[in-house]
């Protein structure tokens, strides 16, 4: 989807007070209040499942059946990551310190991801969703705008050209990318408590590798790690994909007000309680971006209020099925990838010119 013009963004920049109205309604409904009981139950269930999974791992021993346990642990790692996400937004406990401590235990020690790196990176995404030059999530290995695709070179240009086809296969490398970013941040970024974060990351890596190498033969250990980490990354990527890909991409310095910035760049996924659990509540992406500290179980309850308010002010609210969200994301990536292709030559004497805007249809 193309960026909006400066005239449009300037016209809406003075509407920030509308968000205050919505925020007041949400507060009056009690939807920003902590849901500690919900989180304690969820933590207990996931912790018990994690203990059961690793117990089964040691009991099964050197067997190819371990690959099924690898798949089970991949799902659990993703569920732990969702809890770390909530802690990073201070959704679980009432104090910053308590949320951070839970985050380093669940993230750094539990699954090998730095909560300090994630919080810093993710907060920039929330402040500037789908904004070129400001949102780290649209500055990675994929191109989300025609300008970025068109100006790319070398291997990056090749990836951009085929990114719709490469998207799902590349998700199997997502966990490796997250681990790499965590280690790099601990070594180079001025994140708080970087020494302790590094120690806990090292403890996770040492325990994980020791368990696999002591119980499994080298070949089975490699297969276990590849399957477990690959599926973990694939699962995480599949929960991220519906949220913003194919939604409006804003230009750097865009002046859109907070309310519209969050709603227009986000997409919700409709579904059941099972979908809520599978996607970690991220299927309520619009509500989450509007109220990042809102506890996960309250997002479902907040949605009717947000939909009603968006209708009142004439603001488009995007919600679709899970499969259709993937279709929209892939369609967008495919359309953007076309910008890497050479412009067709215009024969001498022909009137008019062909531009990338003419060649690539906008994604709806």
Run means of pLDDT, 10 residues per run, the chain, 364 residues: 40 64 97 97 98 98 97 98 96 96 97 95 93 88 90 92 96 96 93 93 97 97 98 96 92 90 96 92 97 97 97 96 96 94 60 39 40
Q: What is the DSSP letter of 342?
A: P
Q: Identify whether the C-beta of residue 109 lies closer than 8 Å to the C-beta of residue 203.
A: yes
Straight-line distance from the first to the last Cα atom of the chain, in angstroms, rounded to the nearest whole number: 7
Cβ-based neighbour number of residue 357 at 10 Å: 11
What pLDDT score does 349 carry?
Answer: 53
What pLDDT score does 10 carry?
Answer: 38
Name the phi and psi angles at 282, rounded to 5: -75, -10
Largest CA distance in the chain: 78
Residue 99: burial class (beta carbons within 10 Å; 0-12, 13-18, 19+):
buried
Alpha helices in 216-321 (DSSP H): 218-244, 258-264, 273-278, 285-290, 296-313
What pLDDT score does 12 carry?
Answer: 38
Return the structure tokens found at 40.
């304690």
How much of the chain is helix, strand and coil, in % rounded to 5? 65, 0, 30
């Amino acid at each position: 989807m193309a960026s909006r013009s400066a005239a449009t963004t300037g016209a809406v920049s003075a509407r920030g007070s509308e968000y205050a109205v919505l925020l007041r309604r949400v507060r009056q409904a009690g939807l920003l209040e902590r849901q500690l009981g919900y989180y304690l139950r969820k933590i207990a269930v996931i912790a018990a499942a994690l203990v059961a999974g690793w117990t089964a791992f040691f009991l099964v021993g050197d067997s190819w059946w371990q690959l099924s346990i690898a798949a089970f642990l991949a799902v659990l790692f993703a569920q732990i990551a969702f809890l770390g996400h909530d802690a990073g937004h201070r959704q679980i406990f009432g104090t910053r310190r308590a949320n951070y401590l839970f985050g380093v235990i669940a993230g750094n020690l539990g699954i090998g991801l730095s909560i300090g790196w994630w919080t810093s990176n993710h907060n920039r995404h929330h402040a500037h969703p789908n904004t070129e030059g400001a949102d780290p999530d649209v500055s990675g290995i994929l191109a989300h705008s025609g300008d970025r695709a068109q100006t790319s070179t070398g291997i990056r240009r090749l990836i951009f050209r085929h990114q719709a086809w490469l998207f799902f296969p590349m998700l199997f490398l997502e966990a490796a990318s997250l681990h790499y970013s965590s280690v790099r941040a601990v070594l180079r970024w001025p994140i708080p408590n970087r020494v302790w974060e590094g120690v806990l990351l090292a403890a996770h890596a040492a325990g994980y590798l020791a368990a696999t190498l002591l119980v499994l033969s080298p070949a089975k250990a490699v297969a276990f790690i590849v399957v477990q980490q690959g599926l973990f990354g694939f699962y995480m990527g599949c929960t991220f994909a519906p949220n913003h890909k194919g939604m409006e991409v804003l230009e750097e310095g865009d002046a859109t007000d907070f309310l519209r910035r969050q709603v227009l760049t986000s997409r919700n996924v409709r579904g059941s309680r099972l979908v809520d659990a599978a996607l970690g509540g991220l299927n309520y992406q619009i509500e989450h971006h509007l109220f990042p500290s809102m506890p996960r179980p309250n997002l479902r309850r907040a949605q009717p209020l947000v939909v009603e308010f968006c209708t009142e002010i004439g603001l488009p609210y995007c919600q679709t099925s899970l499969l259709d969200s993937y279709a929209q994301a892939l369609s967008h990536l495919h359309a953007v990838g076309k910008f890497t292709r050479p412009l067709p030559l215009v024969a001498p004497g022909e009137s008019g010119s062909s531009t990338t805007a003419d060649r690539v249809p906008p994604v709806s």
